[in-house]
Amino acid sequence: MAFLLNLFFTVFEFVGGIFTNSIALISDGIHDLGDSLTIGLSLFFERKAKKRPDTAYTYGYRRYSLLGGLIAAVSLIVGSTIIIFEAVKRILAPEAIDTKLLLVFAIIGIVVNTLGALFAAKGHSANEKVISLHLFEDVAGWVVLLVGALIMYFFDITILDGILSILFTLFILYHVFKHLKEIIGVLMERSPEKPTIEKIVSVLKADPLVLDVHHIHHWSLEGETGLLTAHVVLDAAIDQEKLKEAQTKMHARLHEIGIRHATLEFEIGRECIQECDPE
């Protein structure tokens, strides 16, 4: 429902931008087009991402969920660049704007984006929650546009349309580059911020039989699912029964802090920890 509302309103904005001659309205249309792409591609790739692992993709297809965000980010950067160029031209050579019609579009924009955000808020996944927050941000943008339309209506300051357009676009680009940085970080297998490596080590060392932990590699498939590989040095006095018990407890503790898939290699009685390869 959020996707359909956003897609319908994107077309609505482009048509409204043409009729009102408002570059600010068209710039928000570019923004909503990016939102529609993000939501639509998320719907498509989420289905692909839920496929079970196979011999071709042994970790599964979860990273497909990143493609939607990547494609939408690139499209927004291209669209925003065009809008900034057109807005600068409009500031240098202001044009007449139908502010009455712009006010109507601003009010409808607040209503439609609020409905879309509320529909998305009903979801439970992290992806749905992010979309909901993003749509609520759009509502704030429409409130700003409404205020701008009122100022232009009463004071005939048409240059404000181009200024608002640039401000909207810079706001969009800030979030796009922030989102793009997160996507690239996941693709480059950067260690997630939570849990920290220090937290993981402390969880594994909670067992008194653990002497040391090294060769830690912590990454994420799509920004939500945490994966871990590590070497755990155990006391030489440990027997098979205690080893199995310790292993079960470690996996349970790791699961509690968000590590959904962990591969632990146990080294028995290796006290010369300094000689272990750090890589």
- Same-domain status, 36 and 118: yes
- 5 pLDDT more than 90: no
Higher per-residue confidence, 185 vs 225: 185
Domain that holds residue 170: 2-187
The answer on pLDDT for 272 being more than 50 is no
When pLDDT is cut at 50, 70 and 90, the band that residue 217 belongs to is very high
145, 24 in Cβ contact below 8 A? yes
For the chain, the domain total comes to 2
Say yes or no: 26 and 101 in one domain.
yes
| 192 in any annotated domain | no
**76: in domain:** yes
Do 157 and 254 reside in the same domain of the chain?
no
Q: Do 165 and 223 belong together in one domain?
A: no
Mean pLDDT value across the chain: 80
pLDDT above 90 (res 159)? no
- Category of 258 on φ-ψ map: left (φ > 0), alpha (ψ -120 to 50) or beta: left
Q: Which of 187, 212, 242 is the last residue of a domain?
A: 187
Mean pLDDT of 121-135: 61
- Clarify whether residues 75 and 204 are in a common domain: no
- 81 contact partners, CB below 8 Å, separation of at least 6: none
CATH number of residue 72's parent domain: 1.20.1510.10
Does 279 have pLDDT greater than 50? no
Q: With 50 as the cut, is the pLDDT of residue 278 above it?
A: no
Q: Is residue 45 part of a domain?
A: yes
* Nearest partner of 79 among 149, 139, 132, 32, judged by Cα: 32
Are 150 and 267 found together in one domain? no
CA dihedral 204, 209, 213, 219 (to 10 degrees): -30
Confirm whether 264 is domain-assigned.
yes
CATH code (residue 246) = 3.30.70.1350
pLDDT for res 162: 82
**pTM: predicted TM-score of the whole model, two decimal places:** 0.69
Clarify whether residues 47 and 98 are in a common domain.
yes
